[in-house]
Amino acid sequence: MSKIHRSIAELVGNTPLVELTNYQARHGLKAHIIGKLEYLNPSGSVKDRLAQALIEEGRANGDITDGSTLIDVTSGNTGISLAALGHAQGLKFIPYLEPGTTQERIDIFEGYGLDTHSFTDIEEVADFEEKGLVPDDLVRGITRIAEEQGYYYAGQTVRESNQEAHYRTTGPEIWEDTDGHVDYFVALGGTAGTLVGVGRYLREKNPDVKIIGVHGASSSRPDSEDFTGNIIDGTLPLGGVSEEFLPTLVKSNRDNGFRFDEIIDVRAEDAYETAQATAESDGLFLGTSAAAALTAAIEVAKRPEAAGKNIVVIYADNGFKYLSTGLYKRKKALSRDALPSAVDTDTAADTETAAVQAAAV
């Protein structure tokens, strides 16, 4: 039988798990950090899962037909998924981009032949820089635009089919590929669809599994006052803020009993260091949100109670779309224990000194 697929839409999901073997050994970690390589989805991120689910939902209820135009607000990945999977299925897409979206993503949208719009084009959130981003205001704004223009609002932040996609696919894949040995699940939250959907599934299988949400520290969020600084892409606060700023799917599923066991803050600078260290140790090349989730997973792995446990972490996308940011710009020497063990200490010390001097120029 041939293995030729008819569309990239058939290739969403079934991504592999890979343990962080070299980094663990080098740092003496006793837990197993197991990454799910979501960047192997056809358009390069975890968002292909929800994009396909949103398209299927729209088709099933008759609101999306051949040639329909979809719109959504996106930090980039959901938009790329909706463009790629939409085009593969005869649909058009118009993205409204978050501030701080990298140039690479804007270029990718151009590659798909799309016109991009900015948040600031939506009058309901035009003042978000002073006020902070209120998800409900954004939904009101984009819904109004969809109605006025005759578009379909894909609705990644509000439709339950987002988290249901993860409940149906990502969660079971993790469970099966670990033979049911999952102790912690760690992911960065944006819409929180991944966390809620996978979290619900894993808890049904094992009520003791710990669900750990990760968000950017306040200085590293796209809606921070200084969003020209280092940003963790796609992140929304999961807690520690007033209700109106929380992701809709966190609130709707909390009413059904969903809770995080813990929420970990990660600074962009720390995520960047993790990305650089694990590129060297294990050949990964993570995007900022994946590196932030991994930073939190490493923090968990260092705890005595995590020894011997399996920590599954989502690598939402890879680093190719962030090369214009500071993610892989090495501003300072890596610490000696991040250097390959084959390097003798004198050479390592020289390298470190040279790198520190270079950084000082």
Ligand X SMILES: Cc1ncc(COP(=O)(O)O)c(C=O)c1O
Interface with ligand X includes 43 (CB under 6 A)? no
Q: What are phi and psi of 213, to 5 degrees?
A: -85, 145
Interface with ligand X includes 317 (CB under 6 A)? yes
Residue for token digits 């033979």? 179
Interface with ligand X includes 188 (CB under 6 A)? yes
Closer by beta carbon to ligand X, 75 or else 248: 75
Tokens of 178: 């670990």
Q: Which residues, at least 6 apart from 43, have a Cβ–Cβ distance to it below 8 Å?
A: 8, 51, 80, 81, 83, 84, 85
**Considering only residues 171, 189, 216, 237, which one is a binding residue for ligand X as defined by CB under 6 A?**
189
Interface with ligand X includes 287 (CB under 6 A)? yes
Interface with ligand X includes 316 (CB under 6 A)? yes
Instruction: Please state, in angstroms and rounded to a whole number, the distance separating the CA atoms of residues 120 and 126.
Output: 5
Interface with ligand X includes 213 (CB under 6 A)? no
Q: Confirm if 74 and 153 have CB atoms less than 8 A apart.
A: no
CB atoms within 10 A of CB 279: 16
Smallest gap from Cβ 81 to ligand X, in A, equals: 10
Smallest gap from Cβ 46 to ligand X, in A, equals: 6
CB atoms within 10 A of CB 250: 24
Smallest gap from Cβ 245 to ligand X, in A, equals: 15
**Considering only residues 58, 193, 237, 319, which one is a binding residue for ligand X as defined by CB under 6 A?**
193
Smallest gap from Cβ 226 to ligand X, in A, equals: 20
Residue for token digits 């837990």? 31
Interface with ligand X includes 75 (CB under 6 A)? yes
Interface with ligand X includes 77 (CB under 6 A)? yes
Interface with ligand X includes 154 (CB under 6 A)? no
The piece of 9-17, 138-146, 178-186, 189-197 that touches ligand X (CB under 6 A) is: 189-197
Closer by beta carbon to ligand X, 195 or else 266: 195
The piece of 52-60, 101-109, 110-118, 187-195 that touches ligand X (CB under 6 A) is: 187-195
**Considering only residues 52, 289, 310, 318, which one is a binding residue for ligand X as defined by CB under 6 A?**
289
Helix, strand, or coil (residue 354) = helix
Interface with ligand X includes 192 (CB under 6 A)? yes
**Considering only residues 233, 270, 273, 282, which one is a binding residue for ligand X as defined by CB under 6 A?**
233
Interface with ligand X includes 234 (CB under 6 A)? yes
Interface with ligand X includes 191 (CB under 6 A)? yes
Instruction: Please state, in angstroms and rounded to a whole number, the distance separating the CA atoms of residues 281 and 20.
Output: 9
* Residues 266-285 within binding reach of ligand X (CB under 6 A): none
CB atoms within 10 A of CB 205: 13
Interface with ligand X includes 41 (CB under 6 A)? no
Q: In which region does residue 234 sit, left (phi positive, over 0), alpha (psi from -120 to 50) or beta (all else)?
A: left
The piece of 89-97, 109-117, 125-133, 188-196 that touches ligand X (CB under 6 A) is: 188-196
Closer by beta carbon to ligand X, 141 or else 287: 287
Instruction: Please state, in angstroms and rounded to a whole number, the distance separating the CA atoms of residues 13 and 278.
Output: 24
Give the Cα-Cα-Cα angle 139, 143, 144 (nearest 5 degrees): 120
- Residue 138 to residues 53, 120, 154, 163, 223, Cα–Cα distance (Å): 21, 11, 13, 19, 13
Closer by beta carbon to ligand X, 95 or else 287: 287
Smallest gap from Cβ 312 to ligand X, in A, equals: 15
Instruction: Please state, in angstroms and rounded to a whole number, the distance separating the CA atoms of residues 40 and 47.
Output: 11
Interface with ligand X includes 35 (CB under 6 A)? no
Smallest gap from Cβ 271 to ligand X, in A, equals: 11
Helix, strand, coil % over all residues of the chain, rounded to 5: 50, 15, 40
Q: Which residues, at least 6 apart from 200, have a Cβ–Cβ distance to it below 8 Å?
A: 163, 167, 171, 253, 258
Which residue ranges make up the site for ligand X (CB under 6 A)? Answer: 75, 77, 188-195, 233-234, 287, 289, 316-317
